Homo-oligomer: A and B are copies of this chain.
Amino acid sequence: VTASVSGTGLRDRLLGARILLPTSSAGVYGYGRDFVRTFDAVDRFVNQAGSVDLPELMRFPAVMSRSDLERTDYLRSFPDLLGAISAFTGDNESHAELLMNLDAAHDWSHVFGPTELVLVPAACYPIYGTIEGRLPPEGRLFEVLGTCFRHEPSADPGRMVMFHQHEFVKLSTADGALAFRDYWLERAHGLMSGLGLEVESVVANDPFFGRAGRMLAANQRDEALKFEIVAPINDREHGTAIVSCNWHRDHLTSRFGIDSADGEVANSACVGFGIERIVLALFAAHGLNLEDWPSDVRVALDL
């Protein structure tokens, strides 16, 4: 006997129980009471786990400048996932014309043009632009809870177009960054299995775009730069990533001119907890009724 509701039916069961609320867009859900309660509990749990290392706390809105985004090189690797923001460029006349011509296509592009803003695709990206001067010898450690947008509309609730990452980000020497990544890979595995999730750590790659992307993905796996902690959400055989642990080498720090205390270009690493996915994995593992969850899980989450 198991309370598991994993499998392709999870989405429908969550919608039926009003834990998720349907909207008219694929990949966009409202969160009902028990989703919010669990979301807040998981976020607090992650926050407390990381607070022992006294990170510098930062938060950023879901938008950032095109120029900073270009510096991260995201446009090279994941152009297809990015959301750019456009805004009205018209006058009274074109406004009147727009209103008269609204139709099923919802195409306003003749009176909307690009702004200088894009949606943040990874919670740690806005941090790099705020760093001034060389790092101290021990490096710097940041905590950020951020909103990420990735344009991949899907019926899978584990693939929402907008979601939250709670990240700890280390900027330091290469050795420090790698040690941080490995420290969190073990720690996050323990934290997630402590919530009753059947987790596994696997070498992973980002979904790099296009022909050139296949080589980038292969390199990333060969060098074991990215690990994911996966857990069952919609598919018992292939878990879904709920945490990722990444060593960026100097990919971001070099572009933002961030140096270690020794004057060398710094390295960075991050651990990112996908809050919505952890919530979904918990519902998949323990059922839809929070009151029926194992007592040790409820205690751990202060639910």
Cα A112 to Cα B129 with chains together (Å): 25
- Shortest CB distance A124–B (Å): 12
**Chain A binding site: helix, strand, loop or mixed by DSSP?**
mixed
**Least Cβ–Cβ distance between A55 and chain B, in angstroms:** 10
Looking across the interface, which residue of chain B has its beta carbon closest to that of A106?
Answer: B66
* A294 contacts the other chain (CB 8 A): no
B61 and A95 contact, CB distance less than 8 A: no
- Docked Cα-Cα span, A85 to B85, in Å, equals 5
Tell me which residues across on chain B come within 8 A of A35, comparing CB atoms. 59
| A32 & B60 in contact (Cβ 8 Å cutoff) | no
Which one of A75, A85, A130 has the greatest number of beta carbons of chain B within 10 Å?
Answer: A85
A186 within 8 A of B: no
A36 at the interface (CB under 8 A from B): yes
Give Cα distance in the complex from A25 to B214, angstroms: 33
Q: Which residues on the B side are within 8 Å of A301 (C-beta)?
A: none
> Judging by beta carbons under 8 Å apart, are B65 and A24 in contact?
yes
Cβ-based interface call for A87 (8 A): yes
Contact B84 A99 (CB under 8 A): no
Among B68, B90, B107, B119, point to the contact of A114 (Cβ < 8 A).
Answer: B107
A45 near B: Cβ within 8 Å?
Answer: no
Question: In the complex, A127 Cα to B36 Cα: how many Å?
Answer: 15
> Do B68 and A130 touch across chains, with their CB atoms under 8 A apart?
no
What are 18 A-B residue pairs whose CB atoms fall within 8 Å in the complex? Answer: A21-B130, A22-B130, A24-B68, A24-B129, A30-B126, A31-B60, A32-B58, A36-B59, A63-B149, A66-B106, A75-B98, A75-B108, A80-B88, A92-B210, A92-B211, A106-B114, A108-B114, A147-B147
Q: Which residue numbers of A lie inside 8 Å of B, CB to CB?
A: 21-25, 28-33, 35-36, 39, 56-68, 70, 75-76, 79-80, 82-88, 90-92, 95, 98-99, 102, 106-109, 111-117, 119, 126-127, 129-130, 147, 149, 151, 160-163, 209-212
Q: A62-B162, A63-B149 are in contact. List 12 more A-B contacts (CB 8 A).
A: A28-B65, A28-B117, A29-B61, A30-B58, A39-B59, A61-B161, A62-B62, A63-B162, A80-B87, A92-B211, A106-B114, A108-B114
